[in-house]
Amino acid sequence: MLKEFKADLHIHTCLSPCGDLKMSPRAIVDQAEKKGLDIIGICDHNSAENIEVAIRVASGTKVNVLAGMEVTSAEEAHLVALFDRAEQALELQEVVYASLLPGENDERIFGYQVVVNELDEVEDLNKRLLIGATTLTLDKFVEIIHSLGGLAIASHIDKESFSIIGQLGMIPEGLKLDALELSPRLSREEAKVEFSQYADFPLVCSSDAHFLEDVGKRSTVFLLKETKIGEIKKAFGNVAGRRILS
C-alpha cells in the first residue's frame, strides 16, 4: 500500500562548520517531529560522523533518517548523496577524506565541526577542512555514490554559490544525476520556468537547514511504499505509482 511521506532530504548538523552549534542530531529529530516530517536526510559537508547518532536518536520516533553527505567536487559544486544505511555513507566518507584538499579547519573563520553523542555531549572536534573541495570530479562522485547504492542529487541549483549551474553555468550533458534540488528561495513553479531545459530531471525541495528553525522550512511529499532509497528512486521515475506529490 502506498502512503504519503513528507521529507526534508538536506539538513546539516553541528558537524558542518556553517551549522549552528544547536544543530545536534537529537535536536534535529525533535524539530523534525514537530514539523511533521517523516523522512530527513542528514547531509553534513564532506563528512558522515554524526549520522549513526542521528539514526539512533530517531529510533522509536516517526522520523526516518537517511544517511547522507553533501560533498564538494573538484569543480567546487555541491552534491547531496543519500543512502539507506550509515555504513554506505561512511564508505563514501573514506573516499572523501582521502581526496579532501590539504588544510585544517580554522574555527575562528569557518566555525566548529562538532561530533556529538546521543546526549548532545561533544565527542570530538573534526579538524579536517570540511568546507573545502575535493579532488574528485562531479562525474566521479556520481559514479561512486551510485556504486554504493545511493542517490546523487544536485544541491540548491537555484543558488549561485556552490551549485552545479552556478559553478559551471549548466548541467553537463551525460551527468547521471537522480534529481535536482531547490532551496527555499525558489518555488517549484518558478523553477520549471527558469530551468525548463532540465525538465527531464525530477525536482525536490529541501531546507538545507543550518539552524533548527529552518528544519522542514522546505520539503517534498512523496507517495511511497516505505522510506527506502529504492522507493524514492522509483518516485523520481514515476514507477509503479510512486511519485512526487508536491
Three-state SS at 167: helix
In DSSP terms, 40 is beta-bridged to: 8, 65
Identify which of 125, 190, 195, 131 has the alpha carbon closest to the alpha carbon of residue 162.
131
* DSSP per residue, 24-50: -HHHHHHHHHHTT-SEEEE--BT--TT
What is the DSSP pairing of strand 203-205 with strand 39-42?
unpaired
When pLDDT is averaged across residues 83-99 and rounded to a whole number, the result is 98
Which three cell numbers mark 160?
A: 549561485
Distance CA 155, CA 171 (A): 12
Name the pLDDT band for 153 (thresholds 50, 70, 90). Answer: very high
**pLDDT tens digits, one per residue of 6-59:** 999 999 999 999 999 999 999 999 999 999 999 999 999 999 999 999 999 999
- The predicted model scores a pTM of 0.96
Query: Is the pLDDT confidence value at 200 over 90?
Result: yes
Distance CA 209, CA 185 (A): 13
* In contact, 47 and 40? CB cutoff 8 Å: no
Backbone phi, psi, residue 204, to 5° = -120, 150
Name the pLDDT band for 191 (thresholds 50, 70, 90). Answer: confident
Q: Which domains does the chain have, with CATH numbers?
A: 3-244 (3.20.20.140)
Name the pLDDT band for 192 (thresholds 50, 70, 90). Answer: confident
* In contact, 39 and 6? CB cutoff 8 Å: yes
Single-letter code of the amino acid located at 124:
D
Query: Is the pLDDT confidence value at 184 over 90?
Result: no
When pLDDT is averaged across residues 118-128 and rounded to a whole number, the result is 96
- Measured between alpha carbons, how far is residue 131 from residues 84, 115, 171, 214, 240 in Å? 24, 15, 22, 20, 39
